[in-house]
């Protein structure tokens, strides 16, 4: 299957910066792109590599994807959530990057948030960050179940809220290749190493500063073993 490509505007929306800055990043060679039908396209792999080299928390990007899902007209806080997610995605300290090898003027890449302690500290595993983001999103939305199911496009994510199951379509489209199996393995590890085949277990993690309990169940799906995660309400 061909690698997914993003337009300049799609990349700008995901990063939370103007399209003109995306083009500057491409021209500077900081963000990899390829020419398709007369315009630049950014690959998933290039985007993930850019985020990693700039020290941007991949989990924050994925949380933004979770929060940007299509909301029904009239749902309270939909636009506010989207705006907040974009604002949190990229911070702009407006300070030049000093990497010890060379100095240069501040570029759009330098505006990306770099963790304290410098880029020598490796970022947390992307699967762990995404697992945390999914649990936070589920609790924030009042979901009583989360379903992760392997599919042709990679991995689907569904939430059950007030008895209604809704899929997050952007999740499957934007999930970096290879991260789906790692995400499933991460959740099984959180539940004590639950095997692929079947079974259920409980686990506790800290979410939003509070210790929360969850139930996890391995479920058979058309695309292979999936997971159902059930928040335990306090």
pLDDT digits (tens, 9 = 90+) for 156-187: 999 999 999 999 877 887 777 778 888 898 89
pLDDT at 211: 92
pLDDT at 37: 82
| Residue 208 neighbours by CB distance under 10 Å | 10
Determine which of 17-21, 92-96, 148-152 has the lowest per-residue pLDDT on average.
Answer: 92-96
Residue pair 41/7 in contact (Cβ under 8 Å)? The answer is: yes
Where b means 16+ CB within 10 Å and e means fewer, 35-61 reads eeeeebbbbbebbbebbeebbbbbbbb
- Residue 82's region, left for phi above 0, alpha for psi from -120 to 50, else beta, is alpha
Determine the longest span between alpha carbons in the chain, in angstroms.
57
pLDDT per residue as tens digits for the range 100-145: 323 333 344 444 433 333 333 333 467 888 898 899 999 988 999 9
Q: With pLDDT > 70 as the criterion, what percentage of the chain qualifies? A: 65
pLDDT at 146: 95
Residue 73: exposure state from Cβ atoms within 10 A (0-12, 13-18, ≥19): exposed
- In whole angstroms, what is the distance from residue 152 CA to residue 23 CA? 32
* Closest residue by Cα to residue 128 from 179, 168, 86: 179
pLDDT at 212: 93
- Residue 62 scores a pLDDT above 90: no
Domains of the chain with bracketed CATH = 5-56+91-111 (1.10.1660), 126-232 (3.30.450.90)
Helices (H) and strands (E) in the chain, counts: 8, 9
3-state secondary structure of 101: coil
- Residue 85 scores a pLDDT above 80: no
pTM above 0.75, yes or no: no
């Amino acid at each position: 299957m061909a690698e997914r490509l993003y337009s300049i505007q799609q990349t700008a929306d995901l990063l939370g910066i103007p399209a003109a800055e995306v083009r500057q990043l491409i021209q500077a060679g900081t963000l990899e792109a390829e020419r398709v039908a007369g315009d630049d396209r950014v690959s998933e792999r290039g985007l993930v590599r850019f985020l990693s080299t700039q020290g941007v928390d991949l989990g924050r990007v994925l949380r933004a994807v979770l929060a940007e899902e299509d909301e029904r007209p009239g749902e309270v806080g939909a636009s506010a959530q989207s705006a907040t997610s974009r604002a949190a995605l990229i911070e702009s300290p407006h300070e030049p990057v000093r990497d010890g090898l060379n100095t240069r003027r501040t570029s759009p890449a330098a505006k990306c948030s770099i963790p304290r302690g410098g880029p020598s500290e490796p970022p947390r595993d992307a699967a762990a960050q995404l697992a945390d983001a999914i649990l936070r999103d589920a609790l924030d939305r009042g979901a009583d179940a989360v379903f992760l199911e392997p599919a042709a496009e990679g991995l689907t994510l569904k939430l059950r809220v007030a008895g209604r199951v809704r899929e997050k379509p952007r999740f499957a489209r934007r999930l970096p290749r290879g991260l789906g199996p790692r995400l499933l393995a991460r959740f099984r590890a959180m539940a004590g190493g639950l095997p692929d085949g079947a079974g259920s277990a409980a686990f506790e993690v800290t979410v939003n500063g509070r210790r929360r309990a969850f139930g996890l169940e391995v479920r058979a799906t058309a695309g292979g073993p999936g997971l159902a995660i059930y928040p335990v309400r306090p």
